[in-house]
Homo-oligomer: A and B are copies of this chain.
């Protein structure tokens, strides 16, 4: 590799990687609602409309869970990338594979909204998020220990803490996949609980 190639490699920051990712994240969370179709009202009394709401409730719930799940991915993505000083080809492709799995979430969200107790559908929803979490974890592992992309300020201890915590995400989604075929309601409960597991401890603490 010539010196000029080294220079070129160095100067590539992460701004476009972040802009592209922000675009994909923003579109995913915003388009989730478009799978919650406006119900056609056969009875336009107030009680008839409330019944129509009950019938689309599973879609509403799956929209909300997916919104906050993808939002957690975004917040964590933001957190990790704020410590990355520049980008390279491998980081870009780890990121593209992560976005690939997340781009499928609107599909699995619509599917689970239509068939919320079907084991294969629930398992598929969990598999995609498991693969997203696994890809994210591998990207973090690469950034933290196999590259020179990270700011020196991040201590080895903090890197390990982050990886240890992140491991639980794909383990739990993997568990949901397995549980779906045994008792589908338990799998659904895991899917609902996961976002809270990551939000509540942090809401307890005052700062990021």
Q: What total of chain A residues lie within 8 Å of the partner, measured CB to CB?
A: 76
Name the residue of chain B whose CB is nearest to the CB of A75. Answer: B92
Residues of B within 8 A of A155 (CB): 2, 4
Q: Is the CB of B26 within 8 A of A88?
A: no
Residues of B within 8 A of A196 (CB): none
Q: Is the CB of B103 within 8 A of A33?
A: yes
Interface of A is mostly: helix
Residues of B within 8 A of A71 (CB): 96, 99-100
Contact for A33 among B2, B12, B90, B104, CB less than 8 A:
B104
A164, CB-defined interface residue at 8 Å: no
Q: Is the CB of A153 within 8 A of B20?
A: no
Residues of B within 8 A of A74 (CB): 20, 96
A172, CB-defined interface residue at 8 Å: no
Name the residue of chain B whose CB is nearest to the CB of A28. Answer: B30
Contact for A26 among B23, B38, B44, B158, CB less than 8 A:
B23
- Given A53-B120, A75-B93, A89-B207, 13 new contacts (CB under 8 A): A2-B155, A8-B154, A20-B78, A22-B23, A41-B114, A49-B118, A71-B99, A74-B96, A75-B89, A88-B208, A90-B207, A92-B208, A93-B199
The contact sample of 30 A-B pairs, CB cut-off 8 A, is A4-B154, A4-B155, A7-B153, A8-B82, A12-B78, A12-B82, A16-B18, A16-B22, A18-B19, A20-B25, A20-B74, A22-B23, A22-B26, A23-B23, A23-B25, A26-B27, A29-B99, A29-B103, A30-B31, A33-B104, A38-B107, A38-B111, A46-B119, A68-B96, A71-B99, A74-B96, A75-B96, A89-B207, A90-B207, A93-B199
